[in-house]
Amino acid sequence: MIALTAAALLTPLERIERPLVLVEDGIITRLGSQASLASPNCRLINYGEAILAPGLVDIHIHGGAGHDVMEGDPEVLPVIESFLAKHGVTSYLPTTVTAPLDLTLATLERLADAVESSSEQGRKEMRARPRGIHIEGPFLSHARRGVHPPENLIAPSVDVFERLWQASRGHIKLMTIAPELECALEVIAEAVKRGVAVSLGHSDAQIDAARAGLAAGARHATHTFNAMRPLTHRDPGLLGLVLTDPRISADIIADGVHVDPVVVELFLRMKGPEKAVLITDATAATGMPEGYYRMGGFEFEVRDGKCLANGTLAGSLLTLDAAVQNVMKFAQLDLQAALRTATLNPAKAAGLPENAGVLAEGAAADIVVMNSEQKVIKTIVRGAGV
């Protein structure tokens, strides 16, 4: 057993001064203030004036450190996962991009292998864990496809969803879909029945179609404002529903490139502390120099701090720890509120287990140690790293 302490701990719902966290076999067995817990007879690690917080959870990420999650090489994911851990991420959903169906199916099989491997009791490595899969496409709007190749978009059908589901061996946790497409509502209902969190996005939906998607079971929205029908005063569209309906959680890319900081602040005010989610939409280029990289089956260029394919934004260079710092600046959030949008909220939105994204007794010891400047100085994944 190991005991951890620091200046403070954010669960993130509660702040505990001078905490004590007891960890055994990668699980938090006791948690509280030093004053409330008896001194344990075990090794004590003191992080001084640092803050302990839940490991970050990224539910929309395509790659990093020069690699894409859809590459065929099985050695790719460990590289990405080590990079994520350096930025405080302990759990993530590898995210596919629209590609030829055979490539997508093969990718889902490989990602399912990774999810199952990561859940094995014996694995204790300082790498982020894939907790499921996010499929972004192929059921997207041609009008709002962004960089998703139009030739690979597929009309929604339960039969195609079934092929995706079988290839993933039931590990699809999140699915982005445009609700206005023909047969989309049937696919949404089927996915929800199987425990998939359905997210509305890459959509040109007017508000009635968006409401129908919600009625069919969708409960989340993908990279709000981007690849969505713009909001106007006579045509609120999907975006109007996302911003005003408290039943919908929604994510945003808070890099200052995809969405202006003023609009990020507006989003956080509208969605509130329980429904706002930070994502990165990171690519193979994240953490790398300018140049050319791949996402799925196409190439994009990084220049001037942007990922571009034919002049269109193609994912981001953002890391989730930087996103937390950004929303503190953009919207004057305190660290506790900012952390919630990158820990508990994404875990809930993606339907991860109840104790994911929090520090609590019985939860995995997925912990990030941050200094007074909110920079990650240590990441602990299921107890590994102490």
Yes or no: say if 230 and 204 are a contact pair by the CB < 8 Å rule: no
Yes or no: say if 286 and 307 are a contact pair by the CB < 8 Å rule: no
Residue 29, classified by CB atoms within 10 Å of its CB into exposed (0-12), middle (13-18) or buried (19+), is middle
| Cα torsion through 148, 149, 151, 154, rounded to 10 | -20
Tell me the catalytic residues. Answer: 281
323 closest CA partner among 60, 45, 2: 60
The amino acid at residue 208 is D
Copy the structure tokens of residue 266. 């507006």
Neighbours of 251 (CB within 10 A): 30
